Amino acid sequence: MPIVSRGFRGRRRDDAPSDRIPPGQYATNDFPVLSAGPTPRTPVAEWDFAVIGEVDKLHHWTWDEFRALPSETVTVDIHCVTKWTKLDTVWEGVSVDTLLEGVDTAAEYAAAFCDGGYTTNLPLEDLTGGKAWIAFAYDGEPLDPEHGGPARLLVPHLYFWKSAKWVRGLRLTSTNEPGFWESNGYHIYGDPWREQRYWGD
Amino acid sequence: MDALKLDGNAAAGLLQEVFAVEVTAARGTCDNCGAVEAVGAVVVYAHAPGTVLRCPHCDAVLMRIVTDGARYWVDLRGVRSLELTST
Amino acid sequence: MGRLNWLVADVIDAVPETPRVKTIKLDVPDWEGHLPGQHVDVRLTAEDGYQAQRSYSIASEPNRNHVELTVERIDDGEVSPYLTEELRAGDQLELRGPVGGYFVWEPDRGGPLLLVAGGSGVVPLMAMLRHRAAAGSSVPATLLLSSRSWDDVIYRDELSRLNGSGLNVVHTLTRSQPDGWTGYARRVDEAMLRAVAPPPGEAPLVYVCGPTPFVEAVASALVALCHEPTSIRTERFGPTGG
């Protein structure tokens, strides 16, 4: 049994409305940077985004083509599996619905792939219907490389390890293929409201 | 330059939880590039949903360790061989 | 060795070293001793169960029950302000260790010894020097210590007493220097290491400790000076999650 450390509080916010904090989470005002490897720094001139896999044909955008697509600004709460929740974060990005418009597929799942080799997987229906974006700006500024810039996947209704940094595309698949964390302990789906952090949760 | 980048010493406690012996003095061979280093000298990213050890020469993932406090998931595929010396 | 268990230590005292740095003296029942360079993991638990964990190098030389940790307060850190400003004699602290087997030195490993420290990176190296002195070792040693200013030099007076008898302590003060200072006044670089370090031909055992950018710059400079990479052991200090 751990002993209680007299007078220790830690870095939590006390004032967050509890109905917005999923079970087991703490609210923070910081934006912690979590990384599993060196930060990629891809110049936008070399960046592209692709939708590949079980599709009719390769769909592909250069940075300029991507930025010419309609985008939107959204305010969402984000929940990291390491127990941090940050409320009211503001992002600008292209809805994944926009990117998948005109993509002909029978696939039910997608695997996001990224500079640096990170991958994560999720059902296609969790990427569509206005639930996900490819975000290129945070808090009104271009997305910093340490937070995933030039662009990252943003899927706020799932734990934030699914919001893959440095995303370069989606591979559509007929089976749900576990990504970097899902293949080593983390839950294949990751719903913060059902506290699906690890295998078997 | 990544200030988040630490070395194997930062993972020493976690590795000893997993292996039940001190591991940072052990020497590991990177399965990707063949480099041999003491575990204490490899790159550690401890600021993640899990702990990731990477080869300081080629950046390939050597080990991934995730724990929920009761279970440990350990992926050692990136280490071709680990040489432990009993003392 | 074997699985590490969490131990409950009693805080005997908390002593300022510099305006930002304090040494915490702990009585650890069931402590089995440690090697110079090893660290402990410290775990704090709030009343509602919230936990944070950090690693701290052991500053003291090996001793049966008594362990000293020297902690620098990091601005907007989560744990170091608690340890340096709130924790007091009579409190308890949960820790496990000793941890580590790579970044350790004992006199029977020989020398000459080259220790290079950036700020609080001096802590594990001080454990090595205290052990060296307590053991009456004649292994030649050099400590190159980089600090922001004279007031920020950790263990300043003790290092000046240990200086001599085979130990050479060299300071560099990177941000401000006292009047009349004739020592180094810049970041550690190749030229400084060339002047201060034993030459590669003497095959020194090298230990470098401090923030990641410091350690990497020093290790690269030593390799550029033809020191054997396998003779250089490093310990990077930085933010750790928990």
Least Cα separation, residue A43 to chain C (angstroms): 24
Residues C49 and C160 in one domain: no
Is there a single domain that holds both residue C202 and residue C130?
yes
Residues 6+ apart with CB under 8 A from C72: C20, C21, C80, C84, C119, C120, C154
Q: Is residue C227 part of a domain?
A: yes
CA distance B20 to chain A (A): 20
Kindly state the tokens that stand for A197.
Answer: 């952090």
| Window 88-127 of A, Cβ < 8 Å to C | none
Q: Tokens 């899990």 correspond to what residue? A: B50
Highest mean pLDDT among A3-17, A162-176, C73-87: A162-176
For C101-124, how does the pLDDT look when each residue is reduced to its tens digit (9 = 90+)? 999 999 999 999 999 999 999 999
In this structure, what CATH number is given to the domain that contains residue C76?
2.40.30.10
| In-domain check, residue C1 | no
Among residues C210, C37, C40, the alpha carbon closest in space to that of C130 is found at C37
Contact B50 A183 (CB under 8 A): no
The tens digit of pLDDT for each residue in A3-48 reads 999 999 988 777 788 899 999 999 998 888 888 999 999 999 999 9
Q: Which of A33, A161, A199 sits opposite B49 (nearest CB)?
A: A161
Helix H segments across A14-153?
63-67, 96-100
Q: CB–CB of A35 and B64 under 8 A?
A: no
Do residues C116 and C223 both lie within one domain? yes
Say whether both C198 and C111 belong to one domain.
yes
**B53 backbone dihedrals φ, ψ, rounded to 5°:** -105, 130
* C156 and C126 co-located in one domain: yes
In chain C, residues 199-228 whose CB comes closer than 8 Å to chain B? 211-213, 216
Distance from CA of B21 to the nearest CA of A (A): 22
Give the pLDDT of residue C239: 74
**Do C162 and C78 belong to one domain?**
no
Domain extent, residue C74, equals 7-99
Interface pTM (ipTM) of the complex?
0.92
Rounded distance between C-alpha atoms, residue C219 and residue C208, angstroms: 7
Query: Which residue among C67, C99, C131 closes a domain?
Result: C99
At position C169, the amino acid (one-letter code) is V
pLDDT of residue C2: 60
Q: Which helix (H) or strand (E) holds C80?
A: helix C80-81
Contact A10 C93 (CB under 8 A): no
Query: Which residue in chain C has the smallest CA separation from B36?
Result: C230
Whether C111 and C93 share a structural domain: no
Model confidence, pTM:
0.93
Q: Which residue of C has its CA nearest to B13?
A: C99
Chains touching chain A, criterion 3+ CB pairs below 8 Å: B, C
Please give the structure tokens belonging to residue C178. Answer: 């006292």
Residue C187 lies in a domain: yes
CB contact under 8 Å between C92 and A26, yes or no, is: no
B49: chain A residues, CB-CB within 8 Å: 34, 36, 80-82, 161, 181, 186
pLDDT of C242 > 70? The answer is no
Which of C99, C126, C142 terminates a domain? The answer is C99
Do both C128 and C37 map to the same domain? no
**Does the distance separating the beta carbons of C43 and A2 come in below 8 Å?**
yes
CB–CB contacts below 8 A, A to C:
44
Share of chain C above pLDDT 90, in %: 89
Q: With contact defined as beta carbons under 8 Å apart, do A121 and A188 qualify?
A: yes
The verdict on C127 and C94 lying in the same domain is: no
What residue of B is the nearest CA neighbor of C55? B10
Asked if B3's CB is within 8 angstroms of C238's CB, the reply is yes
Encoded tokens for A161: 């390890």
Between B and C, how many residue pairs show a Cβ–Cβ distance under 8 A?
85
Note the pLDDT of residue A11: 82
Peptide bond before residue C112 is cis, with ω within 30 degrees of 0: yes
The domain tally of chain B equals 1
Query: How far is Cα C100 from Cα B22, in angstroms, rounded to an integer?
Result: 7
**Tokens, residue C42:** 């410290």
Among C99, C130, C161, identify where a domain stops. Answer: C99
Angle at C97 between CA C92 and CA C98, to 5 degrees: 125
Give how many domains chain C has, as a whole number: 2
Give domain A46-194's CATH architecture.
Alpha-Beta Complex (3.90)
Tens digit of each residue's pLDDT (9 = 90 or more) over B22-59 = 999 999 999 999 999 999 999 999 878 999 999 999 99
Question: What residues of B are in contact with residue A180 (Cβ under 8 Å)?
Answer: 64
Residue C242 lies in a domain: no
Q: Structural domain of residue B13, as residue ranges?
A: 5-83
Residues C231 and C111 in one domain: yes
Same domain, C226 and C143: yes
Sorted by where each begins, the domain ranges of chain A are 46-194
Q: Do B48 and A81 touch (CB under 8 A)?
A: no
Shortest distance, CA B33 to any CA of chain C (angstroms): 18
- Do both C113 and C95 map to the same domain? no
